[in-house]
C-alpha cells in the first residue's frame, strides 16, 4: 500500500471521528426551540465529515489512479527529494498562528500568516501579498464579526486603547 493510501486511511479515520461527533454528540445541548430549525450548528460539520469520508474512501480504494502513470506516486523512500522543508515550515507557521491569534488579534495575526505562508510558497511580489492579505483578513473579520455576530478581537489590546 502506497503512502497516499496510508494518508487516506488516517484522513478517513479523522473524518469518521469528526462525523461521529457531529452526528451524535453536538446537538444534545440545543434549546428545544432550536431543535425545530432546519439548519443546526452541526449541519456543516455533518456535510464536511460525509464529504471527507467519501474522498478518503475514493483514494483508499484507488479510484483516482485510473489512467495515471506510477511516476505521480509519492515514494516514501525518497522523501528528502521533495520540498519537505517547506511543508514543515508551513506546519510550524500554522502552529504559531494558532498560538498568536488571541494575543495579536485576528487582523494582524491573519495578515502576517498569509504574507509569511505565501512567501514560503515562493511568491515574491511583496506589495501584492500585503494588499491581498490585508483585504482577505479584513473581509473575513467583517463577515464573522459584523455579519454573523461572532466577536473576534481584531487587534492587539495595546492598539485598541486610544
Are 103 and 117 part of one and the same domain?
Answer: yes
Does residue 160 carry a pLDDT above 70?
no
Whether the full predicted model's pTM is greater than 0.75, yes or no, is no
pLDDT in the model for residue 161 = 65
Lowest mean pLDDT among 74-78, 88-92, 134-138, 149-153: 74-78
Range 67-82 average pLDDT:
65
pLDDT at 48: 93
Q: Which of 52, 79, 106 is the last residue of a domain?
A: 79
Task: Determine contact, residues 59/5, Cβ cutoff 8 Å.
Answer: yes
Q: What does the mean pLDDT of the chain come to?
A: 84
pLDDT for 39 beyond 80: no
C-alpha 150/C-alpha 50 separation (Å) is 26
Residue with cell 474522498: 55
Domain that holds residue 37: 3-79
Least trusted range by pLDDT, from 16-20, 86-90, 147-151, 157-161: 157-161
In this prediction, residue 17 carries a pLDDT of: 94
Tell whether 117 and 68 lie within a shared domain. no
How far the first Cα of the chain sits from its last, in Å, is 60
pLDDT the model gives residue 113:
95
At residue 69, does pLDDT exceed 60? no
Give percent of the chain with pLDDT exceeding 90.
Answer: 39
Percent of the chain whose pLDDT exceeds 70: 90
Check whether residue 135 and residue 74 sit in a common domain: no
* Domain limit, last residue, from 51, 79, 107: 79
Q: Are 93 and 120 in contact (CB under 8 A)?
A: yes
- Domain boundary among the residues 60, 79, 98 is at 79
Number of domains in the chain: 2
Mean pLDDT on 21-44:
77
Does pLDDT of 145 surpass 80?
Answer: yes
Amino acid at each position: 500500500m502506497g503512502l497516499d493510501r496510508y494518508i487516506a486511511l488516517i484522513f478517513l479515520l479523522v473524518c469518521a471521528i469528526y462525523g461521529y461527533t457531529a452526528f451524535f454528540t453536538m446537538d444534545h445541548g440545543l434549546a428545544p426551540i432550536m431543535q425545530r430549525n432546519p439548519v443546526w450548528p452541526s449541519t456543516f460539520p455533518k456535510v464536511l465529515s460525509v464529504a471527507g469520508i467519501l474522498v478518503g474512501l475514493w483514494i483508499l480504494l484507488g479510484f483516482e489512479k485510473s489512467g495515471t502513470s506510477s511516476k505521480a506516486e509519492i515514494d516514501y523512500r525518497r522523501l528528502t527529494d521533495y520540498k519537505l522543508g517547506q511543508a514543515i515550515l508551513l506546519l510550524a507557521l500554522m502552529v504559531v498562528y494558532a498560538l498568536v491569534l488571541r494575543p495579536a488579534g485576528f487582523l494582524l495575526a491573519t495578515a502576517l500568516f498569509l504574507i509569511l505562508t505565501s512567501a514560503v510558497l515562493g511568491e515574491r511580489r511583496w506589495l501584492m501579498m500585503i494588499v491581498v492579505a490585508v483585504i482577505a483578513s479584513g473581509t473575513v473579520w467583517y463577515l464573522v464579526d459584523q455579519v454573523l455576530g461572532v466577536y473576534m478581537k481584531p487587534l492587539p489590546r495595546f492598539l485598541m486603547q486610544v
